[in-house]
Structure 1
Amino acid sequence: MLALAQLANSLGDGAYLVCSALYFTRIVGLSATQIGFGLTLGWAVGSVAGIPLGHLADRRGPKGTAVLLAVATAVAVGSFLVVRSFVPFVVAACLYASCQSGLSAARQALLAALVDKAERTAVRAYLQSTVNAGLAIGAGVGGLALQVDTRAAYLVVFALDVLGFLAAAAVLRGLPPVPPVPVTTTGGPVFAVLRDRPYALVTCLNAVMLLYMPLLSLVVPLWIVQRTEAPRWMVAALLVLNTVGVVLFQVRVARRVTGLDSAARLVRRAGFAMLASCAVFALSAGGSAWTAVLALLVAAVLQVLGEMMLASGAWEIGFDLAPADKQGQYQGFFGTGVPVARMAGPLLLTALVIGWGTAGWLVLGGVFLVAGLAMGPAVRRAARRRSAVGV
């Protein structure tokens, strides 16, 4: 049922992600700068909102909170249909990003409550495979809307996304009830995660590695067009390769995780894989079309391998280092890496890679490697703190 709920809203999200930029420019009439500012501010607000909304899931119950936030996200998507100017667009973007971040935190808390500790990473991998499959199918639907390129076609896509989140809310309602965490009277801070420095370090390292997210959607397409002789259809080919790779192999990669030590090792290997990927992406420039295609394919394979290893290790780390009675707020905090990558990644990576070329790719790969190597000591420090305070 968790997978079905994820599939329901990822189908609509896939179509939305493909069509949203053109809808806001061609139909609403916003400039690219206005869209970029609105989405950046929205994800900045969303990264902060995930923590209190995750805390709400702890205190009011993750199931009811997830249902409420799924409905709220549907309302946020629906609000885009009536946006006609910049300020309402910014408000809608903030609402959408906040609801998405809170929904993600509530879902992780719900998973932690319903699934045995030893199986959480495997289940999370299965859910991720489902999400990618839904996004791929939804992107196909969005592609049809782009081909039609009419106001009605875009509105249908947004309506489908609204229905997807409402369907997800309906499915989540059918899950077993999960009682809220009892409120303690120890006098500790409400948002304890903000005082947990070892967990904050782990979260920051994960956020750094999540900078891979804008690569295939933004940086690599620009690189292919501006710096290589590869045909433009390679942009779509690499996205398909990534999606299919996650759908087919994410669960298999996640089986390597059996605890915090194996999770940290997998993140370290992800750093090496991402470094190798960046180096091969750099090699795709300056040669013939065929050598560029070969280099891009090899780099994309290394990238998706690193992505799957990072995801599997990070899921285990994020869950296992969080106190059982504060999974919501801890997952909300750990999940801030995603909006931060969406917010800062495009600007940082385009300036680094497109501006610096080969040197930029190597610097980016080095950043991934350093973050991957640092994760092991950071996890061990966080685990010692958890043992010391008895959580």
Structure 2
Amino acid sequence: MAHPGLFSQLRNPPGGRDARIMLSAQFLDRTGTGVWNAAEVLYFTVVARLDARSIGLLIGIGAVAGILGSPVAGRLAARNSVRVLLIGCHLLRVVTLCAMLASTRFAVLLPAVAVTFFGDRAAKTLEMLFAADVAGPERAMYQALFRSVANAGFAIGAGIAAIGLAFGTRDAYRMLILLDAFSFIVCSVLVRRVRKTSGAPARVTSQAADTVPTANPWRDPGYLAFVFLDIFMATDDPILNLGLPLWLITRTTAPHALVPAFLALNTVLVVALQMRISAATKSPHDATSAVARYGLIILACCACVAVAPEFGTLFASLALLVATGLQTLAELMRSVSSWELAVALAPDGARPAYLGVAGMSQSIQKSAGPLLLTSVVMVAGPVGWLALGGAVAGLSVLQRRSCLRKLGLRDPDGSLPAIA
């Protein structure tokens, strides 16, 4: 039976009215974030007049603060309404962005940027909790819809930023930051309309609380192993945003105009394939198979990057475009496997705390991934890329086996299931 198309699913997503409102809020959130991502460095350079070292310090400390956002949000969501907390995250970012507009002193920008990153990662964890609750068994489909609207939002946000950046004036840069803040105000209004608050578990009597222990993700070695390995299962992100453009510019004779095509190809393929891949991931076992495929695809992607400089301009261009396609396919595998397993491995009664810890993996990858790629992989040249692909492929197999054991999924003869 043919699966309903994207627009049909968006009109009637898993979770009904509340999910439709939340997807609208997530679209606006990512649109604002797209504006911010495209404009932040130039804003700090042109308006705040900071040097490269200061900007690097701002973003680096912000990334570290973002790592803390996920577990803090998960802990708070175990006792409070996800809706209220998410509104708070949106309004918190409005305040920090307005602080950046009000003052360009480094002493003001540093805490403002740190809290912005913190609120951003906390909001993403709260969105995961909402989706896991409202979409239930159809959470993979909800995730597919979210990925589609998020990519559209990022693209539109980048387009809006491009218009502002074309003017190149200080007022234009300020207007872009103001638009980002306004998007979060609208998001908070939309989230306010959501009826299902979710998050806080049902209260129990003090006697029951004394007899029923609460699962703690920090004392769950299997879950911590999943979170640690999941850091390496997000390698596709720095490959697209940093590795491919820098490799093209510094090691190949491919035209620089090809760099924007990487993001364009990625966006088109995500929109075209996200629903199909998510529809094929119907269970935690399917998600573990996607993890293993992720590693193999990243290995193939890195191999394409490694050989790109060897045979001239045309070959380099084609090799890097193929690498982009493989990176996108890996990204799609990661989007369904990481999400599904983070939820499936978490005990129902402690899901907020567990998903808060799981959210740290992508935050850590965003902080450490670019540094690893530029200071180790690219310095080592083609061998570095092959080593990266091989390491991710090996760790993906380890992740799959670890998850299968924790889920208790085995064949009748006691062996682990084969990759589907």
TM-score (norm 2): 0.87
- 1:168, distance to aligned residue in structure 2 (A): 1.2
What amino acid does structure 1 have at the position aligned with 2:253?
E
Which residue matches 1:216? 240
More displaced stretch, 254-263 vs 71-80: 71-80
User: Residue 120 of structure 2 aligns to a residue in which SS?
Assistant: helix
- 1:249, distance to aligned residue in structure 2 (A): 1.3
Is 1:126 equivalent to 2:126 in the alignment? no
- 1:191, distance to aligned residue in structure 2 (A): 7.9
Which residue matches 1:97? 117
Which residue matches 1:172? 191
1 CA distance for matches of 2:403 and 2:103? 44
Is 1:261 equivalent to 2:285 in the alignment? yes
Q: Is the 8 A contact 2:240 2:327 kept in 1?
A: no
Which residue matches 2:154? 135
Which residue matches 1:307? 331
What amino acid does structure 1 have at the position aligned with 2:157?
G
More displaced stretch, 157-166 vs 67-76: 67-76
CA change 1:349–1:183 in 2 (3 A) is: farther
2 CA distance for matches of 1:61 and 1:52? 14
Where structure 1 has 5 or more consecutive residues not aligned to the other structure, the ranges are: 386-391
Where structure 2 has 5 or more consecutive residues not aligned to the other structure, the ranges are: 1-20, 410-420
Deviation track 1:278-330 (CA, whole Å, cap 9, x = no partner) reads 10011111332211111111111011001101111111101111122322222
2 CA distance for matches of 1:96 and 1:58? 22
- 1:110, distance to aligned residue in structure 2 (A): 1.3
Matching of residues 1-391 of structure 1 within 5 Å: 1-116=21-136, 118-179=137-198, 180-183=200-203, 185-186=209-210, 192-384=216-408
What amino acid does structure 2 have at the position aligned with 1:346?
P
- 1:160, distance to aligned residue in structure 2 (A): 1.0
1 CA distance for matches of 2:175 and 2:160? 10
More displaced stretch, 83-92 vs 131-140: 83-92
Deviation track 1:57-95 (CA, whole Å, cap 9, x = no partner) reads 221111111111121122223322234232322211210
CA change 1:233–1:372 in 2 (3 A) is: same
User: Residue 196 of structure 2 aligns to a residue in which SS?
Assistant: coil
Q: Is the 8 A contact 1:62 1:328 kept in 2?
A: no
Q: Is the 8 A contact 1:61 1:181 kept in 2?
A: no
CA change 1:188–1:68 in 2 (3 A) is: farther
CA change 1:171–1:368 in 2 (3 A) is: same
What amino acid does structure 2 have at the position aligned with 1:125?
A
Which residue matches 1:389? none
User: Residue 24 of structure 1 aligns to a residue in which SS?
Assistant: helix
2 CA distance for matches of 1:191 and 1:51? 14
More displaced stretch, 212-221 vs 75-84: 75-84
Deviation track 1:305-362 (CA, whole Å, cap 9, x = no partner) reads 0110111111110111112232222222111122211111111101123211101111
Which residue matches 2:17? none
User: Residue 372 of structure 2 aligns to a residue in which SS?
Assistant: helix
TM-score (norm 1): 0.94
CA change 1:289–1:65 in 2 (3 A) is: same
- 1:382, distance to aligned residue in structure 2 (A): 2.7
2 CA distance for matches of 1:338 and 1:82? 31
Q: Is the 8 A contact 2:38 2:161 kept in 1?
A: yes
2 CA distance for matches of 1:9 and 1:36? 24
Q: Is the 8 A contact 1:208 1:371 kept in 2?
A: yes
2 CA distance for matches of 1:266 and 1:350? 27
What amino acid does structure 2 have at the position aligned with 1:36?
G
What amino acid does structure 2 have at the position aligned with 1:177?
K
Larger Rg: 2
- 1:187, distance to aligned residue in structure 2 (A): 7.3
2 CA distance for matches of 1:211 and 1:86? 32
CA change 1:378–1:183 in 2 (3 A) is: farther
CA change 1:219–1:86 in 2 (3 A) is: farther
- 1:114, distance to aligned residue in structure 2 (A): 1.2
Q: Is the 8 A contact 2:214 2:349 kept in 1?
A: no
Q: Is the 8 A contact 1:129 1:248 kept in 2?
A: no
Q: Is the 8 A contact 1:50 1:329 kept in 2?
A: no
User: Residue 310 of structure 2 aligns to a residue in which SS?
Assistant: coil
CA RMSD of aligned residues (A): 1.8
2 CA distance for matches of 1:80 and 1:364? 38
User: Residue 322 of structure 1 aligns to a residue in which SS?
Assistant: coil
More displaced stretch, 81-90 vs 297-306: 81-90
- 1:384, distance to aligned residue in structure 2 (A): 4.4
Which residue matches 1:388? none
1 CA distance for matches of 2:210 and 2:167? 60
Q: Is the 8 A contact 1:125 1:254 kept in 2?
A: yes
2 CA distance for matches of 1:77 and 1:345? 26
